[in-house]
Amino acid sequence: MARLLSLMEDVATKTGGLSSTAGAGASRLGRWVAKEDDDAVYLKVPMPGLTKEHVKVRADKNILVIEGEGEKQPWDGDDDSAVPRYNRRIEMPADAYKMDKIKAEMQNGVLWVTLLKVKEEERKDVFHVKVE
């Protein structure tokens, strides 16, 4: 996970908007948290004011893209900044995670993303040589 968090920090430096400290990062709409176990990395992304209909998550090669945009309310007038928006691109090593098995679930304004790890024996770039 340190590698993933390091990559998140690198993206933050490049984009100027995302930062990471001890598994947490700041966003305009709140904080996100990353936790890890032997099987996966779990992201908790608060997205207040958004529902699952407003959120899109996709894996584009080695980048996890999380986007969301709420609806403009009548009382917002011409103020576009009142519309809740979220846009993050997190670079990650595609060979370390099952990019086609990413799970995302939205509950009560919080997006939960699960990134399953590729086990060493499942990796296609690792060749085990039989010792005779």
More confident position, 128 or 104:
104
pLDDT confidence of 121, banded at 50, 70, 90? confident
Which residue reads 């990134």 in tokens? 115
Domains and CATH numbers, the chain: 2-122 (2.60.40.790)
5-46 per-position pLDDT tens digit: 544 444 433 333 333 323 444 444 446 788 999 999 999 999
Asked whether 51 and 106 are in contact (CB, 8 A), the reply is: yes
- CA-CA distance, 52 to 116, in Å (whole number)? 21
